[in-house]
Amino acid sequence: MSLLDKFAAVKETKNALGCTGQDPTAVVFDTIDTATLGTVNGRKTILAGTNNYLGLTFDPACIAAGVEALETFGSGTTGSRMANGSYAAHIALERELADFYQCPNAGVFSTGYAANLGVLTALLGSGDVVLLDSDAHASLYDGCRMSGADVFRFKHNDVQSLEKRLKRLETRANRCLIVTEGMYSVLGDCAPLAEISELKQRFGVLLLVDEAHSLGVYGEHGRGVAEAQGVLDQVDFTVGTFSKSLGAMGGFCASRHEVLGLFRYVSRPFIFTASPSPSVIATTREALRQLRSRPELRNTLWASARRLYSSLQGLGYELGPEVSPVIAVRFRDRDTALSSWYQLLKSGVYVNLMLPPATPGGASFLRCSVSAAHTDEQISTIIEKFTELKVT
């Protein structure tokens, strides 16, 4: 078998995905007109699979901030912060994130993926232990594996499974990190962080929570599930991304531990990746300001999420376990999910197709992500198209 032969199976999978006439991994948007509307194959399409939770990608103030930064500082940084230095805006954003999370330190990375790899590989090493939720994002898995630590999974959102793992640590507890997410991106379910925090304190371990999909969505101030469950002060490291609610690109870590400031000296994704461009930092800072000053965005988001969830549930669809801005519709098999996804796309509604092995339990899903920018009419149209899908 040659080095390239392994791709024969990949090609078969790709061909199977295109059997409906449209490969879901190759959808091209001819135009993006608003936060919730684009054009695919000449057809106006409602965007219901973008993770654009607060709908800020077309916010005038965010765009103006990006344009000003482009004109003032240019299009890119052309290197890493370790090699080329930090721009004042990088430092300002880190201070603003630290203030937002009410902690002394925050660090910015070029992507959310890089943030998880960068933090985990800096924090962990040989001889350390990670207890990782079985449904955690690929970037968390990769970061844990690359760190060289001993990685043990516990059952998804199962506090008893986690406790059993902790009891087996014995003297290794002081070198252990629990890794979980706030809201999980496939089913929209949330981690029981209050119960996990109790275990964390009892066993004397550290806790990292990835709030990528819950930033701006949960909590009185939009700080995520940890805030919503009243345990933000128990989280040792909060990681996340700018590419969801903040409508930009990049990642971050916020921590109450002073050692976070030293991560930049040992974190390879930080040291060897070009720093975020001035325009990206500018739009992110403005979006963070909007998140903090406009709670009505969360209110609108949740009203639409509750409406869509209850309507699809009323139609008899099998959904995720709780109402959230991520609404996953389960299908009995891959082919049905694929054909249903294509029918929705042809009718002018774009959602995410999620297939095994990238899904919990090997199931197939159509995943909707609700935005504060969705109008009542657009939510009605999404419900209407799912109704037609149910009939056929």
CATH dotted code for 60-293 = 3.40.640.10
- Beta strand pairing call for 352-354 and 105-109: unpaired
pLDDT digits (tens, 9 = 90+) for 126-170: 999 999 999 999 999 999 999 999 999 999 999 999 999 999 998
Residue range 23-31: mean pLDDT, rounded: 89
Residue 358's φ and ψ, nearest 5 degrees, are: -90, 20
Confirm whether 90 is a catalytic residue: no
pLDDT surpassing 90 at residue 39: yes
The separation between CA 363 and the C-alpha centre of its own chain, rounded to angstroms, equals: 20
pLDDT at 392: 62
The active-site residue out of 200, 213, 374, 385 is 213
Question: Cα(280)–Cα(278) distance, rounded to whole angstroms?
Answer: 5
Q: What share of the chain has pLDDT > 70, as a percent? A: 99
Q: How confident is the model at residue 65 (pLDDT cuts 50, 70, 90)?
A: very high
Mean pLDDT of 201-206: 97
Active site residue 213: yes
User: Which are the contacts of 276, defined by CB distance < 8 A and separation ≥ 6?
Assistant: 77, 90, 108, 110, 249, 250, 284
Q: What pLDDT band is residue 17 in, cutting at 50, 70 and 90?
A: confident
Percent residues over pLDDT 90 in the chain: 89
> Domain 16-47+295-391: which topology?
Aspartate Aminotransferase, domain 1 (3.90.1150)
- Active-site residue, from 185, 277, 279, 324: 185
pTM over 0.85, yes/no = yes
Per-residue pLDDT tens digits for 333-363: 888 999 999 999 999 999 999 988 778 878 8
32-37 mean pLDDT: 98
> Which of these ranges, 238-242, 257-261, 359-363, has the smallest mean pLDDT?
359-363
Residues of the chain with CATH 3.40.640.10: 60-293
Mapped onto helix, strand or coil, the DSSP state of residue 378 is helix
Does residue 185 have an active-site annotation? yes
Strand-pairing partners, residue 130, are 151, 177
Query: In the chain, what is the greatest distance between 2 CA atoms, to the nearest angstrom?
Result: 62
Which of 90, 244, 374, 385 does the annotation list as catalytic?
A: 244
Mean pLDDT to the nearest integer, 194-217 = 98
Q: Which residues pair with 252 in a beta bridge?
A: 108, 240
CATH 3.90.1150.10 residue ranges in the chain?
A: 16-47+295-391
